[in-house]
Amino acid sequence: MSAEQPQSPVEQASLPSRSATLHSTGTNLTRQTSASDDEGLVGDDTSETTRLLLERLRAWKHLCGYLEDYVEATAKVQKSQAKDYEKVLKTINNPLKEGHHFHPGPGGVTGMFDNLRKNTQAISTVYLETEKNLKKSVLPTLEHLHKEIKTKSKEISSGTSKLTKAVDKARTATQKHVELLGQYAAVYDAGPHNKIEPSHDPYVLRRGVTYRLNKQITEENNSRRDILAVQDGFQQFEAHIIQTIHQAMDSFFGFMGALSDKQRALYGDMVSSAQKVPLDFEWTRFVQRSEGVLIDPDSPPRTLASVPFPNQDHPATLPRIEGTLERKSRAVIRGYQSAHYVVTPARYLHEFKDTDDLQRDPAPELSLYLPDCQLSALDGVKFVIKGKDVSGGKVTNAFHTTSELQFKAPTPNDAEAWWRAIKAAIDGHRPSPPAEPAAEPAAATPTEPEKAKEDELEKTEPEKDKETKA
């Protein structure tokens, strides 16, 4: 087996440190968000942890290669005199490649290699039988360990690649939707009465950010969990490496025991040095030196509630009123059907199947742009809105016709609250933003300016009805 000189892309003595990443894909935004606003959107970059662990595996692979080279060279020079053992000494480079990964003092693998150099220098003669036994017993153990380390490295590299792609894809989707929310929140700020496409309603966009951010956090937590499992398994794997080295060195010592008392004493010292390395000696000190790069197993995973995003509480995202209403189906047999409705500051009445923003992207089932609609007088718990559904795309909207939609609220008070909020949206009133979100979304109370306006409208409503009947 020829001496291998493994190369590593990292030759520096210092370890890499973790740095947060921030992606930005938008260029033509009317509303800018600062980097501090977006920092919470992106979790820890686990790719540095993966690179560090892969580099550590390369260090162990090279260490195993050094031992293979050492034993093989020892077997080859059994026929030679003491001067030939200088060739064996050359197989153990000083310093070791990636040597900064190991404890520099005595007690670890660095001290073990120092001991190998010292005792190898003292060996003067070797026999052919010893050469044969070394090649048949010791070398296969180390070669098998070398292959195990390579296989472990390939498994980690291929596994983390898929996780990284999934996390990057989810982060990109979240960032694009956050920037889209910022753009149309700025459009709303520029002119509250400007008509905004229903798909760009800041309320809908904000819920879309919540949906994508939840997917991103799920991917990040999955990636973190898997990489943390790999990291936690490193101590056991390294213990296996050192234990295998113990076994190889024990076998090595047994064959060399047939030599002179001096040779036995020298090789015994080599094995003793290797066996004094505790199974967790190198890993424990590696964790201490890499505290800022490795994942802290005690840190909690991220949750949706702990990750705010820009414009999360923007006035355009807070509903004027929302809750459950019943709408009469166009099919006579089906009668009234319940759904979740909301009147947004952008003056849309949206219908949703439910209030779940996590399982699917919250797209409205029905959208009415209230300034283009007509509202009937309140009849107990019922009222009628005449307008056109604009929830589809631009092409489908062109073929939509105006319809009369009949609604029914749970109670007269709820019906009055809904009627006032819809009337205010049709008339173009912009209520003051509430101090806190309402605890119960089933009904909301109109603002004082709206109430005064609507009281005046109610006073004149009977006179208009009399004129209509006349």
Q: For the segment 160-191, what is each residue's pLDDT rounded down to a tens digit?
A: 767 777 888 888 888 998 998 898 888 888 88
Nearest alpha carbon to residue 142 among 84, 68, 88: 68
* Domain map (residue ranges) of the chain: 37-305, 318-469
Map residue 320 onto helix, strand or coil.
coil
pLDDT of residue 190: 85
pLDDT of residue 43: 59
pLDDT of residue 233: 87
pLDDT of residue 184: 87
pLDDT of residue 143: 93
DSSP state, 353?
Answer: S
DSSP state, 42?
Answer: S
Question: 443, 323 in Cβ contact below 8 A?
Answer: yes
Q: Is 360 exposed, middle or buried (0-12, 13-18, 19+ CB in 10 A)?
A: exposed
What's 318-469's CATH class? mainly beta
Nearby residues of 85 by Cβ (< 8 Å), 6 or more positions away: 77, 120, 121, 123, 124, 126
Please give the structure tokens belonging to residue 162: 């898929």
Nearby residues of 408 by Cβ (< 8 Å), 6 or more positions away: 325, 326, 327, 328, 336, 381, 382, 415
The structure tokens 């060279």 sit at: 73
DSSP codes, 59-108: HHHHHHHHHHHHHHHHHHGGGS-GGGHHHHHHTS-SSPTTGGGS-SSTTS
pLDDT tens column, 360-404: 888 999 999 999 999 999 999 999 999 999 987 554 454 467 889
Beta strand segments in 223-320, E = none
pLDDT < 50 regions, the chain: 1-36, 395-396, 398-399, 432-453, 456-470
pLDDT of residue 347: 94
Question: 241, 145 in Cβ contact below 8 A?
Answer: yes
Record the pTM: 0.51
* Residues paired with residue 156 on neighbouring β-strands, in sequence order: none
pLDDT of residue 254: 83
End-to-end CA distance of the chain: 110
DSSP state, 280?
Answer: T
pLDDT of residue 128: 65
What is the spatial distance between Cα 308 and Cα 318, in angstroms, rounded to a whole number?
15
What is the spatial distance between Cα 425 and Cα 450, in angstroms, rounded to a whole number?
10
Question: 318, 310 in Cβ contact below 8 A?
Answer: no
CATH number of 37-305: 1.20.1270
Beta strand segments in 174-257, E = none
